[in-house]
Structure 1
Amino acid sequence: MSCSFRGPAERAQPGVSVTAPVARLPRPIPPRIYRLGHLDTLVQVPGRVLPIHQASRGTYERLPQPIRLPVPPASAEEEEAFDFEAEERNRLRTAGKSVRRLGKVLWLYPTAAKAVQLRNNPADNPDTNISYEYLATLPAIRQWLVAVHLYEGGYSMLVDQRTGRRTRVWSAPAVAPDGRHFVCGNSDVLARYEPSGLQLWSVDGSTLRLLWERQTEWGCTQPRWLDNKTILFEQDFFDNGDVDTRVVRLTVVP
């Protein structure tokens, strides 16, 4: 003989909901930067778009900084107080005998060509005013880096240590670990005196070849190589009336 116990059936109380209502979550709104589509791609050539990905600032900070240069003056007042000649004298002390300053002339002595003479002309005429400042020696690509100052703005120039050939670039180059490529990134998204964007160069002995360059609405500051194909850099962009920055990753070599 068996017996069983069955308790009273559970019944919902009249007018009481068995399941509590679930509030609908608001649709997520992405941060402002992710709605700016032009920050996330770079058109290398027609038909080929390079994706730009957000990267870790911690990883970026651990990568070696290519060239340590003094921070340029940010205003006319700072520029008047900045002693370019003293800064250059400090760098010339470690440049070796192949780089010398004699008055207004910066002398560079290539190994297989005649000396390169870069003469300052501090004229009041905007068309002829020019000066040259030695910045660094780049042993990985055997180039000297020189800053060229014009009446307004300026540019960077590489001078080959063997041939003396001069190459105009957008900024101080960041050289890949294997020495086969370098990039030049520049950022002037606020004043827009100089181009903002990125250049990719190849290195074959003493031959430097510009593979591509792109002027962009955003700026590329302090690019650093993650490996021989990929760079991380600070991407400056103008948004909501101010300049903001994020760290991004970009594969520049196929």
Structure 2
Amino acid sequence: MPNTSPVAPLPRPKPPRIYRLGHLDTLVQLPGRVLTIHQASRGVYEKLPQSLKLPTVPSSAEEEATFDFAAEERLRLRSAGPMVQRKNTTLWLRPTRTKPLRFINNSSEDEASNIAYEYIASIPTIKQWLLAVRLYEGSYYLLVNQHTGRRTRVWSPPAVSPDARHFVCGNSDVLARYEPNGLQLWTVEDGNLRLLWERQTEWGCTQPRWLDNKTILFEQDFFDKDDVDTRVVRLTVLP
């Protein structure tokens, strides 16, 4: 019989680095309750509808320096109806049950008072207008009730669940960190908005989309090895 040398065992497979970054796989909703984040299919994610079609925004500081926000807003205002109007530096909203509201831009060089309000969209499913509020550094979003005029500050444009009873706001700013990274869950009750929970995280949440009335898929941005990487994940936000 021919001599045979023992076969060296194959090395154990080494999982990609993403699977060894454990902090990306959980979200602490409340003390004692941890939600598990699962990897998801990008193909499934891309087929899910977006509850709100958002305008194009600059993807870099260089693009933002030359981007004409005013021109883009004028295009949106053409279809906003008579309840939303801009007159020079003032944006007017006219709720049905209260006096008109005005939002005045201030282009002051003073960082504390520099502010600009931009009309983004109407969201009839939750009876809100969406405004972008731009500061000297950073920004946030404002929801304004179309009946009462009540204002609600949120981290990002809302992704509304199919039954319109909840929405999530996910934000990602893992490089500059002027804005919070993480996720908010809101409930809608007779047009009133209530924050159920919010969590700031080490990773960012971009463009969440609802798989059903309890589960979202989103792009999870994370900073690793001096660069930002992204994967698609699934998270059940409601029991």
Give the residue type in structure 1 aligned to 2:203.
W
Q: What pairs with 1:59-70 in structure 2 (closer than 5 Å)?
A: 59-70=44-55
1:86-165 pair list within 5 angstroms: 86-165=71-150
Task: Kindly state the Cα deviation for residue 154 of structure 1 after the two structures are TM-superposed.
Answer: 1.1
The 5 A counterparts of 1:187-202 are: 187-202=172-187
Secondary structure of the structure 1 residue equivalent to 2:121: strand
CA distance in 2, matches of 1:248, 1:77: 30
Unpaired runs of 5+ residues, structure 1, are 1-12
User: Does the Cα contact within 8 Å between 2:55 and 2:120 map onto a contact in 1?
Assistant: no
Q: If the length of structure 1 is used for normalisation, what is the TM-score?
A: 0.91
SS in 2 for 1:16: coil
Q: Percent identity?
A: 71
**Per-residue deviation, 1:252:** 0.2
| SS of match in other structure, 1:78 | helix
Task: For residue 114 of structure 1, report the CA deviation from its aligned partner.
Answer: 1.0
1:81 paired with 2:66, answer yes
For 1:7, the equivalent position in structure 2 comes to none
Aligned partner of 2:3 among 3, 12, 16: 16
**Aligned twin of 1:27:** 12
The question of whether the paired residues in 2 share the 8 Å contact of 1:163 and 1:206 is answered with no
| Residue deviations 1:169-228 (CA, integer Å, cap 9, x gap) | 000000000011000000000111110000000000121110000000000000000000
Distance 1:246 1:76, change over 3 A: closer
SS of the residue aligned with 1:123?
coil
TM (norm. structure 2) is 0.97
Q: By how many angstroms is 1:70 displaced?
A: 2.9
Q: 1:220 aligns with which of 205, 212, 223?
A: 205
Give how far 1:52 is off. 0.2
Q: How many residues align?
A: 239
For 1:50-65, list aligned pairs within 5 A. 50-65=35-50
**Structure 2: unaligned runs, 5 residues or longer:** none
Q: Which one has a bigger Cα radius of gyration? A: 1
Q: Deviations over 1:86-144 (max 9, x none)?
A: 00000011111111011111011111111111111111111111110000000110100
Question: Secondary structure in 2 aligned to 1:164?
Answer: coil
Runs of 4+ in 1 over 6 A off after TM superposition: none
